[in-house]
A = this chain, B = another copy of it.
């Protein structure tokens, strides 16, 4: 039995002639979802602060451009700043954001000297998320409990594997990149609720890309980075030192089984079932909806640890407020990016109704995030005439039990692109969506990506400074 890093590396860079069509579809959906939220996220004020903090060198001859890792840093930040990117509960992480960010930065960098086909990009994406999620499963839940942010710690490994696959490095080079990335992993859950949370995704993407670059240049790491006192030992707090033998790679890929959970709404994942119930009730009630008298929401125990803003006065706080999404959903009939602008939350016809929503926890809290994920949510809205409408939602919208339809994917795409680029017409956003659906057939994905992305890079080969 080969050591863990050799198995991961062999898996990551093996050529794949047959790319199953179902995986093609899942990965295109994941790519477009991540691209959309990344473009939307690039309009965020903190994104601009981050860009300002990067010292771009050198100067004065033409507009300054970002290096590959800095592009990965920026795109990674943008991909997660809205907390609107997909989720995998297998190891409580956001799988697509760091991997796609690293691949996008790679594809638009000087490192990509050859055309990159849609198939090779999607293969690298599936490989990267697989290495990320399976390593998270090997670490176990203790990793999360200790305070590490799996999207960050594991993202660096997945991003390294993805870029190695896209570069078609040798297994030996890929093993070196994974060993280097293992020493770049970090990121603390303690920074949730601050701009450092999306920064984690940027750091992971940049680290993965950089580790692959270093391995390509010939830098080597120690053998066995995932065994005997290595990555798994350190990041599980010494709980385990080994990769579980039964944990296979790509049989099936995590993106296929159980699949990633896309976010239908740009807010806390624990609000998704509530919103779904409210919008169904609103849709049935029609003109009656705005006249609601009061509402009750029943959430699984533990939910309110995240939903900490019953009476929000900012858009960010609204993302963690059950009363807000009930009141806004019944008034507007939809929940989207514009629902979480400060001005939307501050509307008097919403603020006046927040106290009319009762939120209760039911049942007993489980040990893992997935327990909350599987439990049902009940919403009941009471009408002025005396009747009421009730809905129970068990499957989270966007999960494989209730996947997003093509129409919903398209609406999210258009909503996001127009948020990221205020001047963009709906028709143009729609046209880009159509192009994206044809991604797998692109002979070279770089021109389309360069057109879409909010960060420019150098387009020609860099020169190196001589050292004394």
Interface residues, chain A, CB within 8 Å of chain B?
42, 46-70, 109-111, 145-149, 152-153, 179-180, 182-196, 199-200, 203, 210, 213-214, 216-222, 224-225, 228-231, 233-234, 237-238, 420-421, 454-458, 460-468
CB-based nearest B residue for A71 = B57
Give the CA-CA distance A193 to B224 in the complex, in Å.
12
Give the CA-CA distance A46 to B183 in the complex, in Å.
17
Give the CA-CA distance A194 to B224 in the complex, in Å.
12
Q: A114: shortest Cβ distance to chain B, in Å?
A: 16
9 smallest A-B Cβ distances: which pairs?
A: A61-B61, A237-B237, A186-B186, A53-B217, A190-B230, A147-B234, A57-B458, A194-B222, A58-B458
Q: Are B468 and A210 in contact, CB atoms less than 8 angstroms apart?
A: no
Contacts A192-B222, A199-B183 given; indicate if A67 touches B56 (C-beta within 8 A). yes
Residues in B neighbouring A183, C-beta threshold 8 A: 149, 152, 186-188, 191, 196, 199-200, 203
Give the CA-CA distance A20 to B55 in the complex, in Å.
35
Q: Are A185 and B182 in contact, CB atoms less than 8 angstroms apart?
A: no
Residues in B neighbouring A189, C-beta threshold 8 A: 229
Residues in B neighbouring A46, C-beta threshold 8 A: 219
Q: Are B110 and A55 in contact, CB atoms less than 8 angstroms apart?
A: yes
Q: Are B237 and A220 in contact, CB atoms less than 8 angstroms apart?
A: no
Q: Are A53 and B219 in contact, CB atoms less than 8 angstroms apart?
A: yes
Q: Are B194 and A55 in contact, CB atoms less than 8 angstroms apart?
A: no
Residues in B neighbouring A217, C-beta threshold 8 A: 49-50, 52-53
Residues in B neighbouring A56, C-beta threshold 8 A: 57, 67, 462-465
Give the CA-CA distance A254 to B69 in the complex, in Å.
35
Q: Are B186 and A53 in contact, CB atoms less than 8 angstroms apart?
A: no
Q: Are A199 and B225 in contact, CB atoms less than 8 angstroms apart?
A: no
Q: Are B59 and A463 in contact, CB atoms less than 8 angstroms apart?
A: yes
